[in-house]
Amino acid sequence: MRAVWAIMGLSIVCLAGCTAVTGRQARAYEEGAAAPGTQVAIPEVSVSELAADARALPGPERRVVEAALGALDATGPQLDCSSFVVQVFATAGVDLPRTVREQLRRGVPVELDALQPGDLVFFAFAHRPADHVGIYAGRGRVVHVSTAARRVQLAPLGAAPFVSAWAAGRRVVPAGVSAPRT
């Protein structure tokens, strides 16, 4: 019976767009664990610095980053990574599909070192090609929904669990797109 509940729980989480493994690894990050074999110092960046940077971005990217930063610490039992991304991009007039896997097929590929604020960042904690998504906010930071806390958080890409789970970056707001103001 216990195995049935475990399988059902994992299935529900996978259908939501994130995995249970993401939650365990997110808890490790939130407790300050470093990625295996890494000793990288990650400089502090404030939300106000990221917000100031966002004001210089073109319209759609600015709205995406501002909406993502504005949602920090939002919580909810139904909140997951891919639904958060859908909601944030909708503020910029960009429609995205609901699941991580479908979102991974949108836009154009972006390498880790070429990320720009507003890009989607994908991670593979348990399932390839990806099972977790967030929004790049700039200065090496990602806004995402912590599976463990069901809370929107800001985290450094260069720290655990993200550094070892990087899967892809995607740019879904094409240059020159002008979305309606909200």
Rounded to the nearest 10°, the torsion over CA 148, 149, 155, 157 is 20
Q: Which of 134, 131, 140, 133 is nearest to 113 (CA)?
A: 140
76 contacts: CB under 8 Å, gap ≥ 6: 150
Residue 42 exposure: Cα atoms within 13 Å on the Cβ side: 18
Q: Which of 159, 164, 124 is nearest to 142 (CA)?
A: 159
Cβ atoms 60, 178 nearer than 8 A? yes
- Of 14, 18, 127, 144, the active-site residue reads 144
Decide if 14 is catalytic.
no
- Of 14, 18, 81, 127, the active-site residue reads 81
- Of 14, 18, 127, 132, the active-site residue reads 132
Catalytic amino acids? 81, 132, 144
